[in-house]
């Protein structure tokens, strides 16, 4: 008996499709394979999904229900990639339908043991833990010329978190932690109140091209290697 192919969910597909994925949206169109409301129970069985992709969806919905349902339908260590406007950019709030802005540190609360580390009882017992594999902060195209110079890149990158509207978009890659062994591995090797971050830019912007070539998919060029952000809370207070 042949194994079932992995289920890949493209949430909030809108007017675009990903081939090989189950394209989902709240509104019925020719592009959607499944139509449902992300703020209600998703029509998939527990542990049925290998991977989830959601571009500019999370900022429109209640995040706790979203991540509970994502965790439920994902298989152990199944991955989710979400893209949102960065909280330090005006795009995060320019759309009146956005309900929350997101920074890299916003994803810390999903990680195991976060409540204890920050000393916040309301975070105890979060039932849908994720590990944050990495977060990419994508710079706006206007910085491309300066980023191509190694010295100005080294000088400016440490300050971009303080420059409004410089980071345009946040990409987050997470994985579902669904067993005690995975949870123990995470808490023994990672800080729950911190996440790894990369600074990136669209490759075509970095190369000085305003648009993609025909058939080219968007790709990211890393401008600076991973650094850890967060580390606030009890673990950050010296003895």
Is position 196 within any domain? yes
Is position 1 within any domain? no
Is position 200 within any domain? yes
Is position 180 within any domain? yes
Structural domain range at position 217: 7-236
How many domains, in total, are found in the chain? 1
Q: What is the CATH number of the domain that holds 168?
A: 3.40.50
CA 102-43-32 angle, 5° bins: 75
Question: Higher-confidence residue: 85 or 230?
Answer: 85
pLDDT tens sequence across 54-75: 999 999 999 999 999 999 999 9
Is position 138 within any domain? yes
pLDDT of residue 108 exceeding 90, the answer is: yes
120 confidence band (pLDDT: 50, 70, 90): confident
Mean pLDDT value across the chain: 90
d(CA 76, CA 181): 11
User: Helix or strand or coil: residue 116?
Assistant: helix
Is position 70 within any domain? yes
Percent residues over pLDDT 90 in the chain: 80
Which range is least confidently modeled, 44-48, 104-108, 123-127?
123-127
d(CA 232, CA 105): 10
Of 70, 63, 56, 65, residue with least CA distance to 100: 63
Is position 2 within any domain? no
pTM greater than 0.85? yes
The radius of gyration computed from the CA coordinates of the chain, to the nearest angstrom, equals: 19
pLDDT tens sequence across 138-175: 999 999 999 999 999 999 998 888 899 999 999 999 99
């Amino acid at each position: 008996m042949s194994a079932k192919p992995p289920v890949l969910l493209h949430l909030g597909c809108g007017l675009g499709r990903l081939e090989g994925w189950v394209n989902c949206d709240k509104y019925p169109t020719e592009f959607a394979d499944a139509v449902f409301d992300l703020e209600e129970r998703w029509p998939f069985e527990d542990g049925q999904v290998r991977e989830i992709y959601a571009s500019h969806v999370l900022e429109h919905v209640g995040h706790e229900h979203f991540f509970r349902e994502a965790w439920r339908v994902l298989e152990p260590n199944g991955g989710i990639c979400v893209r949102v406007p960065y909280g330090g950019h005006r795009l995060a709030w320019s759309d009146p339908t956005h309900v929350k802005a997101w920074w890299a540190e916003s994803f810390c609360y999903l990680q195991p043991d976060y409540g204890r580390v920050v000393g916040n009882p309301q975070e105890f017992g979060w039932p849908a833990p994720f590990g944050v594999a990495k977060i990419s902060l994508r710079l706006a195209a206007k910085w491309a010329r300066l980023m191509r110079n190694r010295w100005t890149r080294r000088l400016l990158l440490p300050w971009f978190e303080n420059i409004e509207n410089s980071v345009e978009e946040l990409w987050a890659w997470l994985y579902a932690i669904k067993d005690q062994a995975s949870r123990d591995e995470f808490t023994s090797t990672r800080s729950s109140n911190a996440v790894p971050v990369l600074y990136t830019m669209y490759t075509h912007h970095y190369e000085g091209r305003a648009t993609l070539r025909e058939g080219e998919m968007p790709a990211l060029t890393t401008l600076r290697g991973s650094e850890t952000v967060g580390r606030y809370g009890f673990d950050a207070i010296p003895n």
